[in-house]
Amino acid sequence: MIINMKNLMKNSMFQNMSEEELKSILDLGTCVQETYEKDTLVIEENEDCDTIGFVLEGTLTIQQYGLSGDALTINVFRHGDCFGAPLLFTSKAKYPFTLVTSTKSTVLFIPFVQMRTMLEKSRTFNTNYLTFLSNHIFILKNKIKILAHNDVRSRLMIYLSREIEAAGTTKFRMRHKKTEIGEIIKVARPSVSRELSNMERDGLLQIKGSEVTILAPEDFII
C-alpha cells in the first residue's frame, strides 16, 4: 500500500514528529486506505466505529438529518483533518454523524488498537492526541456559542474570530466557501454574502477574492 506520508503528516496529531519517527510507530499492515468518488456515503450515523480516518485528499462533510429528512452539514473535513478520534476510548463507539464526500477523496483508516499502541510508543504522539482532544472540546464550545446568537453578524464575527486565531494574523485566506460558512454558522448562503458586504461597508473588514483583512479586530467577539 502506497501512502502519501506528507499529506498524512499534515494532521496535527503528527506535529513535531519526523517521517521516520511516524513510520517507526505506525504499522501500515493494519491500516486500510480507501478512495471514494464524489457524493459517496463513507460513514452512516450509528455505525460502529473502530478506526480513526485521516483525510489524505479531497473534502468530506459531516451531515445529520432532521425530523423533516433534510440534511444539515455540521462540519467539513479536508486533508490534514481526521474523524473518529474522540471515540478512541469510548466503549461500544458509534459514529454520531453521517459522512459524505464532497469531492473525490482518499482516507487512511487506522484501527483503534493500532492507535493505542502508537500512544504507548511515542510521548510526542500522546501529547498531540491530548492536544487534539482539547481543541475538539474548544471547537464544540465555539459551535454552541455561535448558536446562542440569533443575528447573522454575531455568528459571523464569532466564526471570523476563530479564523483569526487559526491563522495567527488578521489577514488570512478563507478556508471555507460561503456555502460552507453558512452551514457552519447555520444561516443561508445569501445571508452570509449580504452580511459580509455589510461588514465591509461598515469598515470591519476587507475582502479581496478569498483573502480577508480584519480592519477592526477589537470589535470582534473573541
Which of 100, 117, 143 lies at the terminal end of a domain, its last residue?
Answer: 143
pLDDT in tens, 128-158: 999 999 887 776 777 777 777 888 998 898 8
Q: Are residues 86 and 154 in the same domain?
A: no
Question: Which grid cell sits at 165?
Answer: 486565531
Q: Are residues 136 and 210 in the same domain?
A: no
Domain that holds residue 88: 5-143
pLDDT in tens, 63-75: 766 555 666 666 7
Q: Are residues 110 and 158 in the same domain?
A: no
Q: How many structural domains are present in the chain?
A: 2
Kindly report the pTM of this predicted structure: 0.69
Q: Are residues 101 and 31 in the same domain?
A: yes
Pair type for strands 71-78 and 41-43? unpaired
Which of 83, 114, 143 lies at the terminal end of a domain, its last residue?
Answer: 143
pLDDT in tens, 198-215: 999 999 999 998 899 999
